[in-house]
Structure 1
Amino acid sequence: MSDQHEGTTNGEPTPERPAPPRLGPRPLVRPPVDAGEASVFGRPAGVDGGFAQWPRGNGSAAPGPLRPGPPPAALASAFGRPDGDAAALQRPPHPGQDPAQPPPAFWADPAAPVEKDPWRDPDSGAVLGPPPVDGPEPAPAPSGPGARLSVREVLFGRRVHPRALALLAFVALLIGVAGGLVGRLTAGGAARLTAPDATIAAAAPAKERPPGSVADIAAKVVPAVVSLEIRVGDQGGTGSGVVIDPAGYVLTNNHVVAPAAQVQGATVEAVFSDGSRAPAPIVGRDPKTDLAVVKVGVANPTVAQIGSSAGLAVGDAVLAVGSPLGLAGTVTSGIVSAIERPVRLDGEGNAGDAVIDAIQTDAAINPGNSGGPLVDSTGAVVGINTAIRSLGQGEGGSIGLGFAIPIDEARRIAEQLIRVGTVTHAELGVNAKSVTDGATDGAQVQNVVQGGAAAAAGINEGDVIVKVGERAIAGADDLVVAVREHQPGQSVPIELIRGGRPLTVTAVLTSD
């Protein structure tokens, strides 16, 4: 600590430690004023103060003339007048003034009063002179389409090159020749089709197909009808069927598929209206009602609408759809000729007592229609076409006597076949024949099955049954279908004639 203060007394310099040097102010440097700039921007001669001290209002000039020096080269190049132009900026041009003589300097014209000279009065407003005229203005470019040429200008005005005209004429000639050739060929073809004196038949307007027409019904039903082709060895046959369930179940006649069911290796194939094919194995069949069900493995097939046969009346319009004689998709129309017509079928593939309570129709039904649908005027299925009557021997054609199984019974049979594959029917346990005394018709009992429903009810041989439940019996076939309208185990009143006297008994029907 003592070393730091050696040679110093109260911070003042000593001989051993002198004071540091002090810097004085720098001298004021003023660059020299250029003589030319001073002559242009300096005060006039004899003026020491500002411009506000310049005497105004008396028109007196400055004490001495203004003698500007030459401007710098850069300013002269940027703001100078063009070469050869002697006009000065101090005065605007005046009419009649000699352009070769420059106007007097701004400060050298004492004749012009300051208050009337805008070039000398700092408070005067701006004055615009006439615009400079350097030369004629260019014509504006056309904004719209050019002028149109007339035929005279094109041909004789030398506005179009002759070669362009020749090419245009050649193209027009080619177009004319082609048009004439086409017209000649067209006229010649028309002349060959019709003669000038020909009489043309008048065509009637096209017929409409309103809802409910035969064409409308056929369009709805045909896609749900299939043609069944049965092959047994080198033999074959055809029939029809109708799709009744989205799962692919097809309802048909037993006698259509019976040959394939009885022979090993036989096949059944379904052919749809669009020509597609699919195997159709048998699900179940019922020989006593001549019904059967097959199934096709087709996704989302067209299913027919199922109606009701209970409401049919004689005279109702019906259509038969099927494959008669192998002609798939055939549609015939007719009416309901009769209802509840008992018809005994032949024994081909069916039981000997196969009897149906048929709908009779005069719609044309031929071999191959079997198994196809009979539809009403709404397109709903009301029966399954099964049999015909003909005058010829063997397989004769239709004579307007066709028979169909009512759909109400067919649906019940089909449901049982789909569920369990077999069907049970109610049985009375008698054999009968048709009889009449001229006034009353009925079914005479020929024999009674021991242990059957008839034996338990006390029905004897020789009794004539005239009514089962609510249905009158006119013959042996009526008795079969009347009993099958009921279910096994059901009690049914039976009216009969015994020894000329009426008698009513109650029978509990058994199962076959």
Structure 2
Amino acid sequence: MTGADNNGSQPSPRRSTGDSAPGALDQAPRLGPRPNAHPAVPEQTTAVFGRPDGVDGAFAPPDVARARPVQPVIADPDPVLQEAFSRPEGADTLQRDPDSRFGVEESIPEPADPWRDPDAAAALSAPAVDTPIPPPPTTPGPKLGVTEVLFDRKVSAKALTVLAVIALVIGLAGGLIGRLTAEVSSPLHSDTVSLSGSDDDNEAEPRSQVARVAQAVEKSVVMIDVRLADGGGTGSGVVIDKEGYIVTNNHVISMAANDRSAKLEVVFSDRTRVPARIVGRDIRTDLAVLKVDGIDNLTVAKLGDSSKIQIGEEVVAFGAPLGLDQTVTSGIVSAEGRAVPLRPDETSDTDAVIDAIQTDAAINPGNSGGPLVDDQGRVIGINTAGLAPGGGSIGLGFAIPVNEFLPIAQALIKDGRVVHAQIGVNASSVRNDRVLGAQVRNVVEGSPAARAGIREGDVITKFGDRVIEDADELTVAVRTSEIGAQVPFEYWRDGRTFDATITPAAD
């Protein structure tokens, strides 16, 4: 076994030599200390941490400690570094609240209030009010009577009896009076009451001018009913001859004229229904004539003169708007001589321009063909169209004047067809800073217009007595002129206006 020496180094193994005595051990040579390679200690560090001069132990005598030179003083840390790295005021740790702001003093939270903290633990405290000592129990007293409860023992039993008798007398008297009063009042229900209207002897007499006109004209107005396999329509008409001739619009009976399977009926004011036949129709003026047979005592409408109408005079429109027969509306004549175009659609082949009377009497779908009459009950027009962008009457209705439909109806009754005046041109409306009128687009060779010297591009501004502002007004002016009679007219060409005459021919 080997042991460690005092310096902690391990001895070398012993070995025998020839010079040693028998049985003796020879020690191995010791290793020298390792060189000290520590760097030199700075003088400042030695001055602070080293032993004072002349002191070998751990503590220096007092006189030596007092004689030591002045030691260096560590300066105060930089305020910024102290703020950044020191403990927060009143804290035991260097950790800071991550939500706190630099340089802002943090308020110290108030002590917890268990009454405002729902998560506070239960705790006992002093009672708010001292618990009073309960009074000693009391023994029950005698029961109170009626007088004690109601009158606090101030009224005697005899007085209570007298008061009860007086109350009974008053109740009996009130009941008796109520009974007598109820017998005097009349009952709510009775089987002897008979209600009646006015006993005026003149109830049948019309009380307004419109009522007088309605009574005079209503029997001459009819509703026209067209029924097809897949639909139909209604319109109106007016009886113009005792033989059963009825005038209406072409667009009212157009579906019946183009469909042989259609059923055409006329409904009179007394709801009598009779079949009707088409005498003739004219798509250029939107007029048609029907005929009914076997009807006695027909009421014929009185015809007026449309050339004598006045703007503002009162008129009454008859018809069956929306299928509501025997409907009357009133208004005034708001204008005359309106050129109103009527174009073909899926229910009508009418292609016309009418020279219409304008009225504010309500005209709706179904009024077409009914009469427009003056305040004397005379027919002055045939209700034909209404301007209704929203689908209802807006006070702009138009009627064909009686002076225009009479010759058309006469020709249809006589020949079944109508001949119109024409000049052989097609025109379109023109409106600019130089001219206003109907511009000629083409001229038929050998036509009245060609013989009158009209060329393509000319603008007709007047025809007869009528000022022309668009192509529809030229159509009306030509159609209402007399065939074979010269008509003066004006036209514009290359900035100049010329006067000429033209003789319309039959179409």
TM-score using structure 1 length: 0.59
Task: Tell me how far 1:300 sits from its aligned partner.
Answer: 2.3
Aligned with 2:266 (options 270, 277, 280)? 270
Aligned residues: CA RMSD:
2.8
Native 8 Å contact 1:359 1:404 kept in 2: yes
1:260 aligns with 2:264: no
Map 1:422-461 onto structure 2 (within 5 A). 422-438=417-433, 440-461=435-456
Q: Partner of 1:433: helix, strand, or coil?
A: strand
Q: Give the corresponding residue for 1:316.
A: 313
Aligned with 1:290 (options 261, 286, 291)? 286
Map 1:74-473 onto structure 2 (within 5 A). 189=189, 213-297=209-293, 298-348=295-345, 353-392=351-390, 396-438=391-433, 440-473=435-468
Q: Partner of 1:419: helix, strand, or coil?
A: helix
Native 8 Å contact 1:290 1:354 kept in 2: yes
Task: Tell me how far 1:287 sits from its aligned partner.
Answer: 0.3
Task: Tell me how far 1:187 sits from its aligned partner.
Answer: 5.7
CA deviation map 1:77-131 (0-9, x unaligned): xxxxxxxxxxxxxxxxxxxxxxxxxxxxxxxxxxxxxxxxxxxxxxxxxxxxxxx
Tell me the amino acid that sits aligned with residue 305 of structure 1: K
Return the alpha-carbon distance in structure 2 between the equivalents of residues 284 and 185 of structure 1.
Answer: 75
Return the alpha-carbon distance in structure 2 between the equivalents of residues 499 and 209 of structure 1.
Answer: 66
Unaligned runs of 5+ in 1: 1-182, 194-203
Q: Decide whether aligned partners of structure 1 residues 214 and 445 sit closer, same or farther in structure 2, where only a CA change above 3 A counts.
A: same
Task: Tell me how far 1:500 sits from its aligned partner.
Answer: 1.2
Task: Tell me how far 1:208 sits from its aligned partner.
Answer: 9.4
Equivalences, count: 318
Q: Give the corresponding residue for 1:483.
A: 478
CA deviation map 1:188-221 (0-9, x unaligned): 535999xxxxxxxxxx999996686111100111
Tell me the amino acid that sits aligned with residue 404 of structure 1: A
Q: Decide whether aligned partners of structure 1 residues 379 and 478 sit closer, same or farther in structure 2, where only a CA change above 3 A counts.
A: same
TM-score using structure 2 length: 0.59
Return the alpha-carbon distance in structure 2 between the equivalents of residues 327 and 315 of structure 1.
Answer: 27
Native 8 Å contact 1:288 1:351 kept in 2: no
Native 8 Å contact 1:493 1:507 kept in 2: yes
Return the alpha-carbon distance in structure 2 between the equivalents of residues 478 and 495 of structure 1.
Answer: 14
Return the alpha-carbon distance in structure 1 between the equivalents of residues 240 and 184 of structure 2.
Answer: 62
Task: Tell me how far 1:490 sits from its aligned partner.
Answer: 2.0
Q: Decide whether aligned partners of structure 1 residues 352 and 439 sit closer, same or farther in structure 2, where only a CA change above 3 A counts.
A: farther
Native 8 Å contact 1:212 1:377 kept in 2: no
Tell me the amino acid that sits aligned with residue 322 of structure 1: G
Aligned with 2:506 (options 495, 499, 511)? 511
Q: Decide whether aligned partners of structure 1 residues 351 and 475 sit closer, same or farther in structure 2, where only a CA change above 3 A counts.
A: farther
Q: Partner of 1:434: helix, strand, or coil?
A: strand
Tell me the amino acid that sits aligned with residue 430 of structure 2: V
* Structure 1 runs of 4+ with >6 Å offset: 183-186, 204-208
CA deviation map 1:141-198 (0-9, x unaligned): xxxxxxxxxxxxxxxxxxxxxxxxxxxxxxxxxxxxxxxxxx99996535999xxxxx
Q: Partner of 1:246: helix, strand, or coil?
A: coil
Task: Tell me how far 1:487 sits from its aligned partner.
Answer: 2.4
Structure 1 stretch displaced more, 352-361 or 329-338: 352-361
Return the alpha-carbon distance in structure 1 between the equivalents of residues 350 and 440 of structure 2.
Answer: 18
Return the alpha-carbon distance in structure 2 between the equivalents of residues 341 and 378 of structure 1.
Answer: 24
